[in-house]
Structure 1
Amino acid sequence: MNKTFKIYAVIFIVVMIIIALFEVNKTESTDWRKNFDIQEKSPFGLFVFNAEIKDLFKNKVKKIEQTPYDFYNQNKEKTHNILVIEHNIDKPSWNKILNEVSNGSDALLIVSEIPKDISDSIGYYDSKISFEDNNVLKLTDTKFQNDFIKLDKFPSGRGFTFIKPNVEVLGKTVEENNSDQANFIKVKLGKGNIYVHCEPLFITNYYLLKPGSVKYAQDVFSYLDDRETIWFVEGNSQASRYFMRFILSNPALKYAWWVLLGGLLLFIFFNAKRKQRIVPIIEPLKNTSVDFVKSIGNLYLQEGDFHDMMAKKAQYFLNKVRMDLLIDTQNLDEEFAKKLHLKTGKPMEMINEAIVLIKKAQDPYASVMKEDLAGMNKVLDEIVKM
């Protein structure tokens, strides 16, 4: 074991000890999130309700993890009860629930919010919210007048307003500084009934474990007939998003997880550093074409043979005309000028000027000046810009 490895090992152990000390001394905090998860033991989970629901419904409850749309497409059920608790349901599934209710089933929806187009179809609007810190939930039926529940932790304060004539109010929220507002209603739809309670907190762990709160919950569920109840719950796909929940909730597993991650990161860092090789710098190949052209150009200028340069320029131009424009360049006559004009779109004056200069370049006895070369170069370059 070399010295470097010992240093790394000591650093790793010290870091893990510091992390462990922070975790041991950390004060456990209560999770007050409204998760409504049947596996959660946090205050606003449904662990207690899930454990007691069989007794509440006399073992006539069936939990379904499919969407209502998929379930009713695959199963034909006789009239039954439908239970939905703070569940994200798509519109086709809502329509399936309404269809089952129309055929004689009863639905109890314990949800804080329903899509407006669905709520409108059953006769009410859900739009009122209060911000009181404390309120009391009561039922309007006189036989339940002594049963109530006090919400003292994060009540939603949600209630129903603009209630239509066909809606029966079964429960209300009583607040100290506000007038009472409906929170539990019944709507007749076809052969069945829809019950909607807009404050799901009353069936969470925190409130069900309070003395006297269970009676209120029993009263709410007593409106459903004694028959099979289908409870639509969140599927396994929702739980799979939190696959680390079990590990992080167990202190021993959590420490092991952090040690594993820390060791893996250190291994990757030091192992990669040790095996890294020097990457040689490879100079890219230089493009010498431009230098070559410049050298040839300087050579011609030093020689001062303008006639030869004009001849080569004319030869290059005529070759480009033959290859690109498919024009015969054997006779630089009026027919050639006309075809070149049509294919390039350049003025005839420019075409004729170019022909004159090309013929002068091809004449070995012509007298050529530097100005002739410059003029020819300009005219031919302008023509080939197509």
Structure 2
Amino acid sequence: MNKTFKIYALIFIIVMVILALLEVNKKEVVDWRKNFDVNEKSPFGLFVFNQEVKDLFKNNLKKVDVTAYDYYNENQKKPHNILVIESEIDTESWNKILDEVSKGSDAMLIIAKMPKEISDSIGFYDSQISFEDKNVLKLTDKKYQNDFIKLDKFPSGRGFSYIKPGVEVLGKTVEEDNSDQANFIKAKLGKGNIYVHCEPLFLTNYYLLKSGNTKYAQDVFSYLKDRETLWFVEANTKESRFFMRFILGNPALKYAWWLLLSGLVLFIFFNAKRKQRIVPIIEPLKNTSLDFVKSIGNLYLQEGDFHDMMAKKAQYFLNKVRLDLLIDTQNLDDEFAKKLQLKTGKNIEIINESVSLIKKAQDPYASVMKEDLIRMNKLLDDILK
């Protein structure tokens, strides 16, 4: 038995002992990620909802595991209900859903951050309206006043900051330190209706398993007509095709796999020390960050999307104000302008003009010129100096 073999054997035994100790003493870690997966039993999965959804829709529910575009190209349906819960859907599929709604179907979209093509079609603007760690979801209909759900774990804080006239508010988010904010709306589109709820957490395992919370979910879905409902779950139900899914899904095989890889790394390491060749000199990579920034800037200028550039600049500025100057940016009113003027020492006329341009940048329907972008960029840079 040579010396090298003894070293490898000793390292192997030490690694095995460490893994055994870790396995014995490991604690169960709760996965708080918002995965919204119908097969996940973690707090923010949809396993419980997936088990109870057929009873909720009186066994008149069909799960569709293909895209809406493919499904409607192959199927002609009479008016029905469409359900989408926190799924990534392509633009063509959204257009198909909107087309079905215009023909008389009703769609319920329970999505935290709505795609722009949907918000533009309905007439609303959703955004982060709160950073509170607790809030309450309520419906505006008087017959549902006693049914509510309290979110005490990682609420998204999203709501509708702008709603076009004619869109009906069905639900709201209630907080202690902020005014009520709409989170559930209904909009007429052609012969059908679109219902949009921007807080999907109320359907997750953590909240549905709490006593009394299922009533709120029943109230939300009661707005849909009693007819066939198609639930597009294509993004959540596709099985992973990763070739290692079986090994990594089994704890014993997973530890054996990582042990094998560790052994190979150690073997390569000790052999490389003995047989290492001369390492050639490699010139360091050039820093292309500046070129990349210039390319992105030129791309925006070619597209002429000055509104989007203004919105991003305004968002960056307000974030710097919150973090560096510790000023609340929720309400861009006279009080905000006064606080900013006091902490930066800039002229109040410059502050007021900057606030006016920021509000213009945040308005999705405002008309923005190139000169507005140049002026706002100069003013905000001067304020943060």
Same fold (TM over 0.5): yes
Pair 24,239 (structure 1): closer, same or farther in 2 beyond 3 Å: farther
- AA aligned opposite 1:112: A
Distance across 2 between alignment mates of 1:278 and 1:212: 69
Who is 1:225 aligned against?
Answer: 225
Helix, strand or coil: the match of 2:27? coil
Which residues in structure 2 correspond to 1:232-271 (within 5 Å)? 232-235=232-235, 239-240=239-240, 247-248=247-248, 250-266=250-266
Pair 10,187 (structure 1): closer, same or farther in 2 beyond 3 Å: same
Who is 1:43 aligned against?
Answer: 43
Indicate yes or no: 2:19 matched with 1:19: yes
Who is 1:335 aligned against?
Answer: none
Who is 1:106 aligned against?
Answer: 106
List gaps (5 residues or longer) in structure 2.
Answer: 279-385
Who is 1:158 aligned against?
Answer: 158
Rg bigger for which structure? Answer: 1
- AA aligned opposite 1:194: I
Distance across 2 between alignment mates of 1:123 and 1:278: 66
Instruction: State whether residues 39 and 237 of structure 2, in contact with CA within 8 Å, keep that contact through their aligned partners in structure 1.
Output: no
Indicate yes or no: 2:79 matched with 1:76: no
Who is 1:198 aligned against?
Answer: 198
Instruction: State whether residues 87 and 235 of structure 2, in contact with CA within 8 Å, keep that contact through their aligned partners in structure 1.
Output: no
Distance across 2 between alignment mates of 1:157 and 1:48: 23
Distance across 2 between alignment mates of 1:130 and 1:187: 24
Indicate yes or no: 2:204 matched with 1:185: no
Distance across 2 between alignment mates of 1:270 and 1:46: 48
Helix, strand or coil: the match of 1:185? strand
Pair 83,225 (structure 1): closer, same or farther in 2 beyond 3 Å: same
Distance across 1 between alignment mates of 2:178 and 2:189: 31
Instruction: State whether residues 20 and 255 of structure 1, in contact with CA within 8 Å, keep that contact through their aligned partners in structure 2.
Output: no
Pair 242,61 (structure 1): closer, same or farther in 2 beyond 3 Å: farther
- AA aligned opposite 2:48: V
CA deviation digits over 1:310-351, x for unaligned, max 9? xxxxxxxxxxxxxxxxxxxxxxxxxxxxxxxxxxxxxxxxxx
Helix, strand or coil: the match of 1:83? strand
- AA aligned opposite 2:231: W
Who is 2:5 aligned against?
Answer: 5
Distance across 2 between alignment mates of 1:236 and 1:134: 27
CA shift for structure 1 position 253: 3.2
- AA aligned opposite 1:61: L
CA shift for structure 1 position 270: 7.0
Moved more, 206-215 or 127-136: 127-136
Distance across 1 between alignment mates of 2:196 and 2:276: 68
Query: Please, what is the CA RMSD of the aligned residues?
Result: 2.7
Instruction: State whether residues 37 and 236 of structure 2, in contact with CA within 8 Å, keep that contact through their aligned partners in structure 1.
Output: no
Instruction: State whether residues 86 and 111 of structure 2, in contact with CA within 8 Å, keep that contact through their aligned partners in structure 1.
Output: yes
Distance across 1 between alignment mates of 2:27 and 2:144: 42
Who is 1:32 aligned against?
Answer: 32
Instruction: State whether residues 37 and 237 of structure 2, in contact with CA within 8 Å, keep that contact through their aligned partners in structure 1.
Output: no
Distance across 1 between alignment mates of 2:151 and 2:277: 68
List gaps (5 residues or longer) in structure 1.
Answer: 280-386
CA shift for structure 1 position 32: 1.1
Who is 2:57 aligned against?
Answer: 57
Instruction: State whether residues 185 and 197 of structure 1, in contact with CA within 8 Å, keep that contact through their aligned partners in structure 2.
Output: yes
Distance across 2 between alignment mates of 1:278 and 1:123: 66
Moved more, 8-17 or 187-196: 8-17
Who is 1:95 aligned against?
Answer: 95
CA shift for structure 1 position 22: 2.5
Instruction: State whether residues 139 and 170 of structure 1, in contact with CA within 8 Å, keep that contact through their aligned partners in structure 2.
Output: yes
Helix, strand or coil: the match of 2:70? helix
Instruction: State whether residues 129 and 156 of structure 1, in contact with CA within 8 Å, keep that contact through their aligned partners in structure 2.
Output: no
CA shift for structure 1 position 249: 5.6
CA shift for structure 1 position 13: 2.2
